[in-house]
Copies of this chain bind each other. A is one copy, B any other.
């Protein structure tokens, strides 16, 4: 994006955050090719709180809705959830997730965020993954921030199809289709043997 004058930048900043309230100042600064300080000033002038404030309240009641897994079992921070419909989580990638040699985040962490989010949005005692088809669009470096969005695209009886898209800033870096079965406790008990 070319450097913009202040008014134009603030207009687009508002648009961006309306579209994706989870962008942090650092990401916005890179997006608009300005300093983080400039973004902070812009937010002040526009009366937009910082990202944690923007998302905190949403996040709190998101966890309270989850039935199928314990909140600690969700990889990443659950930000938003609408049972049997959609959900959103954010994963801050850290060194432990990266390959020593290259600092590239190992694929299964990106999968885990998507899979645990897909399971979390299902309104059931136990959500069992039946199948998954995933695509990695580019390597993710340690430190990059992954925003995963899940949507239920189909539901037949206890069988859910869930589409998950994971982005860094506005770039899709991972996409997956999960088939998840909703089972009640006693049923899963049987299946466990």
Contact = CB atoms under 8 A, between A and B. Distances in A.
B102 A108 contact: no
B106 A73 contact: yes
A38 interface: no
Interface of A: 69-70, 73, 75, 99-104, 106-108, 111-112, 115-116, 119, 125-126, 128-136, 138-139, 141, 185, 188-189, 191-193
B135 A131 contact: yes
A130 B112 CA distance: 16
Copies of this polypeptide in the complex: 2
B136 A130 contact: yes
A116 B106 CA distance: 8
Given A69-B101, A102-B125, A108-B116, 5 more contacts: A102-B185, A102-B189, A106-B112, A131-B135, A134-B134
